[in-house]
Amino acid sequence: MVRPQVDFLKDNLKRLGYFFRPILIVKNYNVVLDGHHRVHALQEMGGVRIPCIEIDYLDNPEITLATWYPIYTGEAYDFHASLQGMSIEAKAIDVIDNNTFDDPQYGFALHSKSGNWLLKGSQQELYKKFLAEYDSGKFEYVKTFDYAYASVRKQYASFTLLRKTLTKQDVINTARSGNVYAPKTTRHILTFRYQDIKVPMNALIDKK
């Protein structure tokens, strides 16, 4: 959960007085695909129900799963000392390729101007540490591995956190286990556009 995004949505919902975009959930699994921040915002406002659209997911060719790659556009130096300071166990590696992510105990690969490291731990735990250590406003999220990698090489970013692209079954399994991904982990690409709605907030909030 990204706190500023939840606060923005809460302010927006209060100002508008109605809920305007349904969340997407996986049919038969009750897993949220799109709308996690809307769920948190509504819950914090006392919401007990939320408009949603159920969709087929695993074998649906109209939904493609990709990921976002965080890049850091601020200054960052001496990653060996920084990683130790964040209590992150890291292993220096020469290159990052398709085999980098074979060991599931390493959540991210860090690519920087000064080298590459495999970072031990879950993506959720690791990303929290990076957000606490660095200016969260200077993280950007890009769509492709190649763009993230090139952003460092072209000196637009100081470092990027790289990871494997998940499968749809990974998403279902993680959600059913009760675990959550780090913010901006999944990116669902839809070939269709679902319509906005206009549901009054008082219809969604417990009046007791």
Burial 13-39 (b: 16+ CB within 10 A, else e): beeeeebeebbbbbeeeebbbbbbbbb
Q: What is the pLDDT of residue 163?
A: 92
Q: What is the pLDDT of residues 45-90, one digit of tens each?
A: 999 999 999 999 999 999 999 999 999 999 988 887 889 999 999 9
Strand 106-112 and strand 139-142: pairing?
unpaired
Q: H or E element: which one contains 188?
A: strand 186-190
d(CA 188, CA 11): 26
Give the CA radius of gyration of the chain.
Answer: 19
- Torsions phi, psi of 165, nearest 5? -80, 135
Structure tokens at 198: 């206009």
Q: What is the pLDDT of residues 120-134, one digit of tens each?
A: 998 889 998 999 999
CB 167 within 8 A of CB 50: no
pLDDT along the chain (208 residues), means of 10: 82 93 90 88 94 93 93 89 92 90 92 94 90 92 95 96 90 84 83 88 83
Structure tokens at 19: 């809920």
Q: Domains of the chain by range and CATH?
A: 1-56+192-208 (3.90.1530.10), 66-162 (3.30.1760.10)
Return the DSSP state at 180: -
CB 157 within 8 A of CB 72: yes
**What's the Cα-to-Cα distance from 91 to each of 65, 123, 134, 137, 148, rounded to whole Å?**
29, 16, 21, 27, 20
CB 112 within 8 A of CB 159: yes
d(CA 168, CA 174): 10
- Torsions phi, psi of 81, nearest 5? -70, -40
